[in-house]
Amino acid sequence: MVLKLYGDNISNLALRVAHVLTDKQVPFEYIKVDMIAGKHKSPEHAQRHPFGQIPYIDDDGLVLYESRAICKYIATKWRDQGVQLIPDPNDLEANALFDQALSIEQNNFEPITLNIMLELKYKPLRGEKTDEKFVESLIAKLEVKLNGYETILSKQKYLAGENLTLADIYHLAWGAVLIDELGVNSTIDEKRPHVARWFKNLSSLPGWLAVKNGLPYQEV
């Protein structure tokens, strides 16, 4: 049975999973869970995602949520096809550096960029007022974190070493929105040429370009 991805084009995390499925050349059905209509909170979906969120997948009966867990599952199951996104399981050092890079994204990047997104994008969509002072403080925090990124990326091409991994790709979900939609690019500029080179490279990955503006949904 073809893998089903439940998501919505307004969810960048659903697009994260679609990106990885595309890179791994895995055919899938993309099923819309209309977030604006609150469908993700319906009993039907809550049965499959206990937190009433998207994305989640159904791969022949295996229902999996949490976008990073989904992406790792896909990259592992279809290891031998498409773009290689995880290290060789027998390479202890490469896996340690991969785990480190995953942790960097989850602890140093997402908590800040997600909050900037919520303030600048989602609050206005809900008719709420952006807290400009909070955004300023978040951007100041992001600047400091990006100095750490600059140090790492001045020595290697990607966050886990010389090869692209899921850890890099995970930055696109919020990073691309900040830059493409919200114009928060003062943080990624000539002050940090290695971060700029890295992010430009990520933003032009074919898999991301194929999904970033959303995908057609399948009728169910």
Which residues contact ligand GSH (rule: CB under 6 A)?
11-13, 40, 52-55, 66-68
Closest CA to 104 of 162, 61, 54, 168: 168
Distance, in Å, from the CA atom of 6 to the CA atom of 99, rounded to the nearest integer, reads 27
* DSSP of 158-212: BTTBSS--HHHHTTHHHHHIIIIIT---TTSSTTSHHHHHHHHHHHT-HHHHHHT
Residue 21 to residues 36, 83, 151, Cα–Cα distance (Å) = 25, 10, 31
Closer residue to ligand GSH in complex, CB, 40/212:
40
Q: How far is the CB of 153 from ligand GSH (least distance, A)?
A: 24
Decide if 199 contacts 179 (C-beta within 8 A). Answer: yes
CB of 25 to ligand GSH, least distance (A): 22
Q: Cβ of residue 197: shortest distance to ligand GSH, in angstroms?
A: 27
Residue 90 three-state SS: coil
| Minimal distance, residue 41 CB to ligand GSH, in Å | 7
Nearer to ligand GSH, 55 or 87 (CB): 55
Distances in Å between the Cα of 122 and the Cα atoms of 15, 97, 119, 182 are: 17, 34, 6, 11
Nearer to ligand GSH, 34 or 136 (CB): 34
Beta bridge partners of 57: 5, 64
Amino acid letter, 98: F
Question: Nearest approach, Cβ of 150 to ligand GSH (angstroms)?
Answer: 26
Closest CB 114 distance from ligand GSH, rounded Å = 8
User: Please, which residue, 54 or 104, has the CB nearer to ligand GSH?
Assistant: 54
Nearer to ligand GSH, 54 or 160 (CB): 54
* Nearer Cβ to ligand GSH (153/208): 208
Nearest to ligand GSH by Cβ — which residue?
A: 53
